Amino acid sequence: MDLLIPDIGLLFWMVVVFGLLYFILSKFAWAPITESLKEREDDIQKALDMAEKTRIEMAKLQADNQKLLAEARAERDAILRGAKETADRVIADSRDKATEEGNRIILKAREELQTERQAMVAEVKREVITLSLDIAEKILKKELSDKKSQEELVKSLVAEARLN
Amino acid sequence: MSRFLIRKAFLSIVLFLSTLAAVTAQHDEHHDHGATGEKKKFNVGDMIMHHIKDDHGWEFAHGLTLPLPVILYTQDKGLDVFSSSHFAHEANYNGYVKEHNKIYRAGANGEADKTIKVYDFSITKNVASLLLSAALLLLVFFSVRKGYEKNRGKAPKGLQSFLEPVILFVRDEIAKPNIGPKYAKYLPFLLTLFFFILFNNLLGLLPGGANLTGNIAITMTLAVITFLIVNLSGNKHYWAHLFKPTGVPVALLPIMIPVEIVGVFMKPFSLMVRLFANITAGHIIILSLLGLIFIANDLGGSGMGWGVSPLIIVFSLFMNLIELLVAFLQAFIFTLLTSMYIGSAIEDSHEADHGH
């Protein structure tokens, strides 16, 4: 058993044992182990890819949301503006109509007042005429009966008129 | 569950070994006391050689030897199987003689007859260690595989998560960059190679461990397998490069072609020697350092021996740590170079050719 000369026995056993070891380990250890490692690496890669894809999708979704939000905001503003305009117009219209109606009522009232006054003046005139006619009638009646009394009457009438 | 099984298996192995060892130890002690009376002078060279070389029987400590089966074949006598402990009791057993750790047929006068060829297929210390490491490798990686089955789609756990980075290291740092896209075909071999060398390097560092990866037969087998894989998977570029190097003047071809051919054999040869020399050297250094204690003991008495011990312990501790690094490094280098050789044999273009 020299240091530098290989022993035939050890060579034999080494070839046998190493050969068996190689075949058994290859088939039952290295194959499943490397396969599992590969599988896991693929899984990790897939997961990373998925995460990246999801991130991009999320960003897109967020951009879409932002756009939608902006659109909604713009629409809201438009609606509000429209509503305000409508309200303003309605108010202005109502005001105009009310002014017009008021003016019309006032005008009508003025006209009625005018008519009434004219009627009243006509009434007063008629009264005065009737009264004057009555007086004239009475004077005429007295005059017709007696001269003296006629005078007296005139005198009293004048007095009366003076008293009035 | 698997951890429990491993622990159980490990415990039973240890128990089995220790009972065997204890029985033999008693045996040996009985035997030794009668035979040697005088104190032997310490020989550091013998001690080191005894430790780094193979042996029939696994000696854990002095007098504590696990006997192993001796399997011999001779043409005339056929197959013979017996325990190595027989040689501890008698020099000549069953017609065989053990001399300088080698078994010969006993001649007529009881001396070793070196003319008859004895094929020794014994389960020696190294073979036992080899089997042990193979069992350990199977146990460990079956448990790792079970981990992958159990934790499918989950984070790795326990032994699985401990060894996963190493497996990934072999795949991503050794196989992929050096072999290229066709690495998957060679990965099982590279993984087996890496973990076989690593486990045996580490087992060799244990006290009483065998110097398996520091044995030329082991490194030769590994190197020959690498050689076969490299040359059997070599494509036409590889062979063209070997026999018709591009850009070399025709006048230089008579020199270049032999150089290239020598290179083909030199690569696995360097693999064989590198691993063998690195691991053996590490063992020799640690053993020499420890041997210094006993040399001091012989030279200046037990006081001197005790005196140098603390320093030696610090040095050998340091060397052990270095060896731990070397255990990983050599497994890495062997695998790396193997994958580089495979890569150069199967690459399509000559782009990466400047490495020569």
Q: Could you tell me if residue B255 is inside a domain?
A: yes
Would you call B154 an interface residue with chain A, using a CB distance cutoff of 8 Å?
no
Would you call B228 an interface residue with chain A, using a CB distance cutoff of 8 Å?
no
Confidence at residue B38, expressed as pLDDT on a 0 to 100 scale: 47
DSSP class of residue B215? S
Confidence check on the interface: ipTM exceeds 0.90, yes or no:
no
**Domain stop point among B122, B138, B157:** B122
CB < 8 Å & 24+ apart, contacts of B26-33 = B27/B85, B27/B88, B27/B89, B28/B63, B28/B64, B28/B65, B28/B88, B29/B63, B31/B88, B31/B89, B32/B63
Would you call B164 an interface residue with chain A, using a CB distance cutoff of 8 Å?
yes
**Domain stop point among B103, B122, B141:** B122
Whether residues B283 and B325 fall in one domain: yes
Q: Residue A119, Cα to own-chain centre: how many angstroms? A: 56
Confidence at residue B3, expressed as pLDDT on a 0 to 100 scale: 57
Question: Which of A3, A10, A26, A27 is best to mutate for the B interface (most B CBs within 10 A)?
Answer: A10
> For A15-19, A37-41, A146-150, B215-219, which range has the lowest pLDDT when averaged over its residues?
A146-150
Strands (E), chain B: 58-61, 64-66, 69-74, 78-83, 92-93, 96-99, 102-106, 112-113, 119-120
pLDDT value at B282 more than 50: yes
Mean pLDDT computed over B149-175: 89
Say yes or no for a CB contact (<8 Å) between A29 and B141. Answer: yes
Residue of B nearest to A20 (CA): B134
**Domain stop point among B55, B89, B122:** B122
Say yes or no for a CB contact (<8 Å) between A29 and B221. Answer: no
Q: Residue B209, Cα to own-chain centre: how many angstroms? A: 10
Task: Please say whether the beta carbons of B323 and B203 come within 8 A.
Answer: no
Residues of B in contact with A3 (CB under 8 A): 49, 52-53, 216, 280
Q: Could you tell me if residue B205 is inside a domain?
A: yes
Confidence at residue A53, expressed as pLDDT on a 0 to 100 scale: 96
pLDDT value at A20 more than 90: yes
Q: What angle do CA B349, B350, B353 make, to 5 degrees?
A: 145
Beta partners for residue B211, in sequence order: none
Confidence at residue B317, expressed as pLDDT on a 0 to 100 scale: 94
Confidence at residue B188, expressed as pLDDT on a 0 to 100 scale: 95
Whether residues B216 and B96 fall in one domain: no
Q: Could you tell me if residue B39 is inside a domain?
A: no
Whether residues B114 and B143 fall in one domain: no
Residues of A in contact with B54 (CB under 8 A): 1, 7, 10
Mean pLDDT computed over B315-333: 95
Q: Rounded CA gap, B56 and B127, in Å? A: 10
Q: Rounded CA gap, B95 and B86, in Å? A: 12
Confidence at residue B90, expressed as pLDDT on a 0 to 100 scale: 74
Q: What angle do CA B252, B253, B257 make, to 5 degrees?
A: 130
Question: Can you say whether residue A5 is alpha, beta or left, with left for phi > 0 and alpha for psi between -120 and 50 degrees?
Answer: beta
Alpha-carbon distance A48 to nearest alpha carbon in chain B (angstroms) = 15
Residue of B nearest to A26 (CA): B188
Residues of B in contact with A12 (CB under 8 A): 121
Q: Rounded CA gap, B291 and B309, in Å? A: 10
Condensed to tens digits (0 to 9), the pLDDT of residues A92-107 reads 999 999 999 999 999 9
Of the candidates B53, B188, B280, the beta carbon closest to that of A25 is on B188
Tally of domains in chain B: 2
Would you call B192 an interface residue with chain A, using a CB distance cutoff of 8 Å?
yes
Whether residues B117 and B153 fall in one domain: no
Helix H or strand E segment including B49: helix B44-52
Mean pLDDT computed over B118-134: 93
Whether residues B238 and B346 fall in one domain: yes
Q: Rounded CA gap, B190 and B166, in Å? A: 12
Alpha-carbon distance A67 to nearest alpha carbon in chain B (angstroms) = 41
Q: Could you tell me if residue B295 is inside a domain?
A: yes
Confidence at residue B105, expressed as pLDDT on a 0 to 100 scale: 85
Say yes or no for a CB contact (<8 Å) between A18 and B192. Answer: yes
Whether residues B77 and B142 fall in one domain: no
Mean pLDDT computed over B34-46: 64
Residues of B in contact with A8 (CB under 8 A): 119-121
> What are the backbone angles phi and psi of residue A129, rounded to the nearest 5°?
-60, -50
Q: What is the 3-state secondary structure (H, E, C) of chain A?
A: CCCCCCCHHHHHHHHHHHHHHHHHHHHHHHHHHHHHHHHHHHHHHHHHHHHHHHHHHHHHHHHHHHHHHHHHHHHHHHHHHHHHHHHHHHHHHHHHHHHHHHHHHHHHHHHHHHHHHHHHHHHHHHHHHHHHHHHHHHHHHHHHHCHHHHHHHHHHHHHHHHHC
Q: Are strands B92-93 and B96-99 parallel, antiparallel or unpaired?
A: antiparallel
Say yes or no for a CB contact (<8 Å) between B127 and A9. Answer: yes
Whether residues B269 and B151 fall in one domain: yes
Mean pLDDT computed over B310-336: 95
> How many residues are recorded in chain A?
164
Q: Could you tell me if residue B27 is inside a domain?
A: no
Q: Residue B60, Cα to own-chain centre: how many angstroms? A: 17
Whether residues B110 and B133 fall in one domain: no
- Per the prediction, chain A carries an average pLDDT of 90
Q: Could you tell me if residue B5 is inside a domain?
A: no
Task: Please say whether the beta carbons of B54 and B92 come within 8 A.
Answer: no
DSSP class of residue B111? S
Read off the pLDDT band of B144 (50, 70, 90): very high
Whether residues B81 and B183 fall in one domain: no
Structure tokens at B258: 């032999």
Would you call A144 an interface residue with chain B, using a CB distance cutoff of 8 Å?
no
CA atoms within 13 A on the CB side of B19: 5
Say yes or no for a CB contact (<8 Å) between A36 and B217. Answer: no
Q: Letter for the amino acid at A60? A: K
**Sign of torsion, CA B261 B263 B264 B268?**
positive
Q: Could you tell me if residue B196 is inside a domain?
A: yes
Q: What percent of chain B has pLDDT over 90?
A: 46
Whether residues B231 and B178 fall in one domain: yes
* Nearest CA-CA partner of B296 in B311, B317, B281, B280: B311
Whether residues B116 and B142 fall in one domain: no
Q: Could you tell me if residue B51 is inside a domain?
A: no
Say yes or no for a CB contact (<8 Å) between B215 and A11. Answer: no
- Per the prediction, chain B carries an average pLDDT of 84
Whether residues B183 and B159 fall in one domain: yes
Confidence at residue A144, expressed as pLDDT on a 0 to 100 scale: 66
Identify the domain containing residue B87 by its residue range: 69-122
Q: Rounded CA gap, A33 and B187, in Å? A: 11
Q: Which residues of B276-295 are buried (b: 16+ CB within 10 A; e: fewer)?
A: bebbbebbbbbbbbbbbbeb
> For A99-113, B217-231, B300-314, B339-353, which range has the lowest pLDDT when averaged over its residues?
B339-353
Say yes or no for a CB contact (<8 Å) between B71 and A9. Answer: yes
Say yes or no for a CB contact (<8 Å) between B126 and A10. Answer: yes
Confidence at residue B54, expressed as pLDDT on a 0 to 100 scale: 87
Confidence at residue B205, expressed as pLDDT on a 0 to 100 scale: 92
Confidence at residue B111, expressed as pLDDT on a 0 to 100 scale: 79
